[in-house]
Amino acid sequence: MRLSAVALCACLACAVVEAQVAPAPAAAKPTKACETASRKIDREQKAIDLAAESVARDRKARATCTSRVLCSRLDAAIESATRTQARHEARMKRFQQEVVDTCGG
């Protein structure tokens, strides 16, 4: 009888301790603004990659061009793609700051 009373007290003490322990916080679901900001970064990264590929392709073609007209078109394309890439990189920095502000890190 005494043993069962001690066991009952021990079980009750364990139950009280478990009830006092705070439950583990669930993983916070990102807000819609945070998801939108993250998607903006993904889009900008794709645009930067495409511009870099365009510059690399046009520079390779420029190295072997034979016609003055073709060379000038490639020079213009390289210059345009470089400006586009710089513009997307600037936007990327702004969007990264937006992610830090909306997502908290």
- Residue 91 in any domain: the answer is yes
> Given pLDDT bands bounded at 50, 70 and 90, which one contains residue 6?
very low
- What's the angle, vertex CA 91, arms to CA 86 and CA 97, rounded to 5? 135
- Residue 71 in any domain: the answer is yes
- Residue 25 in any domain: the answer is no
- Residue 90 in any domain: the answer is yes
Please indicate whether residue 23 or residue 85 has the higher confidence score (pLDDT). Answer: 85
Q: Which domain holds residue 53?
A: 30-100
What is the rounded average pLDDT of the residues 23-37?
A: 71
> Exposed/middle/buried for 98, CB within 10 Å: 0-12, 13-18, 19+?
middle
At 3 the pLDDT is 42
- Residue 14 in any domain: the answer is no
CB-CB contact of 71 with 62 (8 Å): yes
Statement: the pTM of the whole predicted model exceeds 0.85: no
- Residue 49 in any domain: the answer is yes
- Residue 1 in any domain: the answer is no
**What is the count of structural domains for the chain?**
1
